[in-house]
A and B are shown apart, each in its own frame.
Chain A
Amino acid sequence: MTTSMKITIASGKGGTGKSMVAANLAWAISQSDRVTLVDCDVEEPNLHLFFPPDDPESTDVQVLIPAFDNSRCTLCGDCAGFCAFGALVVAKDRVLFFPEHCHSCGGCALVCPADAITEIQRPIGTVTTRDLSAHLSLVTGTLNEGEVLGVKVIQEAKRRAEKPGWMICDASPGTSCPVVETLHGSDFCLLITESTPFGLHDLELAYSVTSHLDVPVGVVINRSDGKDEEVRRFCNERGIPVLATIPFDRWIASVQGSGDLISRVDPTWKERFIALGGACRSSVGGT
């Protein structure tokens, strides 16, 4: 029977090795189960770099934006007065529209008393699907430069990734809206941290988001120098399981540096990542 399990990989800040864990976990599990890996770090997607280069097909992610019919517009100002995002300014002779501020709420078209606004499509990013093996696909969301609606691209990437099997989402670093959007619908979240005081602070922030959203979590300590007491104490006090510890190690760094995966190169690491997947599944009561 195929497992159905959605995991988000998150961390309170960048550079903790979140993508490395996501890619290794996905690759290891895909040796025996169907996995879709989703790159939700849409401002800087990087998971494809762990896999051989290819030439995948992308499709546009579109949002609706207003278009103005100047012959009908009476310059009444209602649309700009309504827009909470400052995307519209009604000047003396026309309506100015700043697309990068528009959140596609559609409100301006509704409030316009002169029927001068229609909604049209505008591309803000892309979603790319790569079939990396019979059991592993990678869906990458990419937000176009200068755009703000990353959450729309994340929604669309997750929608396209909806297949039986495991879904592993790599969130963007930090604790902002895109992370919340990525976590939405997840059964479990793996929080990646480092064993430094800063790492602990960021872990606390990330944990406050997941507990707010009621998503159960486990912690992976990456680049551990062996002095993990603080992180472990924090986890113990809150009943958060520490599911894996990855040591600070030259060999690991060099494998990653060459764009490879430790689980692909070393069977021991493959087993460890498979076990990590199993631990995530049992944490949410699966078998």
Chain B
Amino acid sequence: MKICIPSRGPDIQDLVDERFGRAPYFIIHDTESKMTEAHVNSAAGAMGGVGPKAAQFLLNQGVDSLVTERVGGNALEALKAGGIMVLLYEEKGSTVADAITAFLKGNLKEQ
């Protein structure tokens, strides 16, 4: 299963970014292979429509779950239509590694 965490930087020790569409990086972690990849969010600085663009990126990457603090209405609609589960993670000041651990424990709520 592939999970995605919006992040301030390219490393799992970087902080989680609370803005899904505007996050500079998306960290994608594969829970089976334990592989982690960082992707630059090329739409982060776009004028508008960043939520749908980010959702499209996740769909193209075959992500199964998004772990995030906030997600806008359009992005949520697109993610749901694409079958991506949105899990809320609201711990302030956490790293991507913390978010992955919280996901693996299985106690995150679905939006």
Which residues of chain A have a CB within 8 Å of any CB of chain B? 77, 80, 83-94, 96, 98, 101, 148
Contacts and interface: CB of A to CB of B under 8 A. Distances in A.
Interface in B28-58: 43, 46-53, 55-56
A98 B52 CA distance: 8
B61 interface: no
Contacts of B51: 86
Given A77-B60, A101-B74, A87 B52 contact: yes
Interface size class of B (residues with CB under 8 A): 10 to 19
A86 B59 contact: no
A86 B49 contact: yes
B77 interface: yes
Given A77-B60, A80-B56, A91 B49 contact: no
Contact of B49 (A90, A94, A98): A98
Nearest to B77: A96
Interface of B (DSSP majority class): helix
Given A91-B82, A94-B81, A85 B49 contact: yes
B93 interface: no
A85 B81 contact: no
Contacts of B60: 77
B85 interface: no
A91 B46 contact: no
| 10 cross-chain pairs, A with B, having the tightest CB-CB distances, nearest first | A86-B49, A91-B81, A89-B78, A86-B52, A86-B53, A101-B49, A91-B82, A85-B49, A98-B74, A89-B52
Contacts of B46: 84, 86
B67 to A, nearest CB: 20
B48 A89 contact: no
A98 B48 CA distance: 11
B28 to A, nearest CB: 18
Contacts of A89: 52, 55-56, 59, 78, 81-82
B48 to A, nearest CB: 6
A90 B59 contact: yes
13 contacts: A77-B56, A86-B43, A87-B49, A87-B52, A88-B56, A89-B52, A89-B59, A89-B78, A91-B59, A91-B83, A92-B81, A92-B82, A96-B52
A98 B83 CA distance: 18
